[in-house]
Amino acid sequence: MWGRNVYDSISKFLQFQLTVNVVAVVVAFTGACITQDSPLKAVQMLWVNLIMDTFASLALATEPPTEALLLRKPYGRNKPLISRTMLKNILGHAAYQLVIIFTLLFVGAWTWGTPGRCGERS
């Protein structure tokens, strides 16, 4: 029961972390290519990683095991840690987050009437 719970917790943590990191890398790279300046500075990226790593690991690692875990078949030794379903979830959630972030980054200043490009004050 505990082994299955640990496996599930690791899978959930990986899915969350990969989604957050894919979004952060794409935003930093694309933002730097388009605006000639990274939307997230180095210190901001470190804070995002620190907060996301800490709270996600605490939230996903403290889930207690249940008896329902014993009702399913155990995973084989050769089963990949990231399944097709997880990969679809990671890419889907990352695409959703990227749409929102890029909308805020490139259209947000115009939408809310603040001066400057990409939210910067001029």
Q: Is residue 93 part of a domain?
A: no
User: Is residue 4 classed as helix, strand or coil in its secondary structure?
Assistant: helix
DSSP calls for 45-100:
HHHHHHHHHHHHHHHHH-PPP-GGGGGSPPPPTT--SS-HHHHHHHHHHHHHHHHH
Q: Is residue 102 part of a domain?
A: no
Of the spans 15-24, 27-36, 53-62, which averages the highest pLDDT? 15-24
Q: Is residue 23 part of a domain?
A: yes
Angle at 57 between CA 24 and CA 86, to 5 degrees: 65
Range of 55's domain?
Answer: 1-81
| pTM, full prediction | 0.75
Residue range 37-89, pLDDT digits in tens? 777 778 887 887 788 778 777 777 778 888 888 888 888 888 888 989 999 99
Q: Is residue 6 part of a domain?
A: yes
- Identify whether the C-beta of residue 52 lies closer than 8 Å to the C-beta of residue 17: yes
Instruction: Count structural domains, the chain.
Output: 1
